[in-house]
């Protein structure tokens, strides 16, 4: 079957790509459904057999892990029903987290491609139509099969584990930190010359009730980390610490982190959002070696928000510390 005959479902979640001015209210907000997005792209129907589905109409900031869990169940069902590729359109603010969650939860080989827009449809140079067209091309392409969840923005194709929103507003906002995109689109060609190693899959939880609350705390100069002490009282069951550089915190945070790590998984990421946490270079109190010896788990190449998604889903699936640590290591290649 040619790629133009593939059944591709465009599932809309909202975001800037679907935003429009609101009557009597300032600013744009999610308004357009999946049909409207598809109709705004000339020739899209010629690239595949496009089907549409409006799943949510939210800004990226309003999405939750339970929403993504429901979406993962829905996509699994679509594949079971014969859909050959899925495009998810959503707010770019949280694409790196939703791509990560879907990547962990969906075992199928069929492509799942997440995209969005940095400029709303009414702005000059709106990027939504080009991003959606590229996402459809990728979702219909054999080259995208078995690659896990991919993100297409600005003619580039990113792997879920590396992709970051690295600029607040430009159409070139998305980058694969420390790695580079796995591919690109040019004319109507999809190029994915790079493959990934170390896929990690987490059992799809049956419902959202089991999703573990995981806090994300960022180290900052001079902060004594008093927030850490309050986390168990707030019901958190896991913590990701976005440490300085390769995974460092101030000395005054060390005892609190040690106590937390006795009770729950505590993952150490880098607040730089690029590169991997170290394991054996620095030796001062609060260094990566010190913290790992106290039971923290290195996040490897995952940015702190993505490390949090993995921790929450793995805990929900009942994974213990060793399996959680192995997952971060595997995703790091």
Nearest distance in Å: CB 16, ligand ASP:
3
Q: Taking CB under 6 A as the criterion, which residues in 202-241 touch ligand ASP?
A: none
Q: Which is nearer to ligand ASP, 32 or 264 (CB)?
A: 32
Name the minimum Å distance from CB 92 to ligand ASP. 3
Nearest to 13 by CA among 81, 76, 98: 98
Binding mask 58-77 for ligand ASP (x = CB under 6 A): -xxx----------------
Could you please report the per-residue DSSP string of 49-117? EEEEEEEEEE-GGG--HHHHHHHHHHHHHHHHTT--EEEEE--GGGHHHHHHHHHHH---SS-EEEE--
Applying CB under 6 A, does 32 fall inside the site for ligand ASP? no
Out of 7, 8, 12, 16, point to the residue binding ligand ASP (CB under 6 A): 16
* CB of residue 166 to ligand ASP, shortest distance in Å: 13
Q: Which stretch of DSSP H or E encloses residue 266?
A: strand 266-270
How many CB atoms are closer than 10 A to CB 77? 10
Among 9, 12, 15, 243, binds ligand ASP (CB under 6 A): 15
Contact partners, residue 302, CB within 8 Å, separation at least 6: 100, 161, 269, 310, 328, 331, 332
Q: C-alpha distances in angstroms, 244 versus 31, 178, 264, 287, 308?
A: 39, 16, 21, 9, 17
Between 116 and 243, name the residue whose CB sits nearer to ligand ASP. 116
By the rule CB under 6 A, 305 interacts with ligand ASP:
no
**Alpha carbon distance 144, 146 (integer Å):** 6
The residue among 84 and 120 lying less far from ligand ASP, judged by its C-beta, is 120
Q: Which stretch binds ligand ASP (CB under 6 A): 85-93, 97-105, 150-158, 291-299?
A: 85-93
Q: How many residues bind ligand ASP (CB under 6 A)?
A: 10
Question: 207, exposed or middle or buried, with CB in 10 Å at 0-12, 13-18, 19+?
Answer: exposed
- Using CA atoms, how far residue 90 sits from 60, 144, 282, in Å, is 6, 20, 40
Q: Which letter does DSSP use for residue 213 in this model?
A: P
Does position 85 interact with ligand ASP (CB under 6 A)? The reply is: no
From the list 54-62, 154-162, 204-212, 265-273, the region that binds ligand ASP by CB under 6 A is 54-62
- Toward ligand ASP, which CB reaches closer, 114 or 324? 114
Shortest Å distance, C-beta 19 to ligand ASP: 7
Of 120, 96, 118, residue with least CA distance to 169: 118
* Coil, strand or helix at 13: strand
> Mask 90-109, x = binds ligand ASP (CB under 6 A)?
-xxx----------------
Q: What character string, x for contact with ligand ASP (CB under 6 A) and - otherwise, covers 111-130? A: -----x-x------------
DSSP state of 274: S
Determine the interface stretch with ligand ASP among 87-95, 146-154, 210-218, 244-252 (rule: CB under 6 A): 87-95
Based on CB atoms, which residue is closest to ligand ASP, 169 or 197? 169
- Token representation of residue 62: 């309003």
Residue 293: CB partners within 8 Å, gap ≥ 6? none
Contact set with ligand ASP (CB under 6 A):
15-16, 59-61, 91-93, 116, 118
């Amino acid at each position: 079957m040619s790629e133009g005959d593939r059944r591709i479902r465009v599932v809309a979640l909202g975001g800037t790509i679907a935003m429009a001015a609101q009557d009597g209210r300032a600013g744009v907000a999610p308004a357009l459904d999946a049909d409207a997005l598809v109709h705004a792209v000339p020739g899209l129907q010629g690239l595949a057999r496009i089907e549409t589905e409006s799943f949510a109409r939210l800004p990226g900031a309003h999405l939750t892990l339970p929403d993504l869990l429901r979406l993962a169940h829905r996509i699994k069902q679509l594949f079971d029903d014969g859909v050959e590729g899925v495009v998810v359109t959503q707010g770019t603010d949280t694409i790196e987290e939703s791509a990560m969650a879907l990547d962990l939860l969906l075992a199928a080989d069929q492509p799942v491609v997440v995209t969005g827009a940095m400029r709303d449809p009414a702005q000059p140079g709106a990027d939504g139509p080009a991003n959606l067209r590229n996402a459809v091309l990728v979702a219909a392409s054999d080259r995208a099969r078995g690659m896990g969840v991919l993100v297409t923005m600005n003619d580039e194709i990113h792997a879920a584990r590396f992709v970051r929103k690295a600029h607040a507003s430009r159409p070139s906002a998305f980058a694969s930190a420390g790695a580079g995109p796995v591919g690109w689109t040019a004319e109507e060609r999809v190029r994915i010359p790079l493959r990934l190693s170390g896929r990690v899959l987490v059992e799809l939880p049956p419902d959202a009730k089991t999703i573990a609350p995981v806090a994300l705390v960022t180290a900052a100069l001079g902060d004594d980390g008093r927030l850490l002490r309050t986390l168990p009282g707030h019901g958190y069951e896991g913590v990701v610490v976005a440490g300085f550089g390769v995974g460092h915190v101030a000395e005054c945070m060390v005892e609190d982190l040690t106590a937390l790590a006795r009770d729950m998984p505590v993952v150490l990421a880098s607040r730089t959002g690029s590169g991997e946490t170290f394991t054996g270079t620095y030796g001062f109190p609060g260094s990566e070696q010190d913290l790992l010896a106290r039971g923290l788990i290195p996040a490897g190449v995952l940015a702190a928000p993505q490390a949090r998604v993995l921790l929450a889903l793995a805990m929900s699936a009942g994974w213990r510390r060793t399996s959680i640590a192995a997952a971060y290591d595997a995703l790091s290649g």
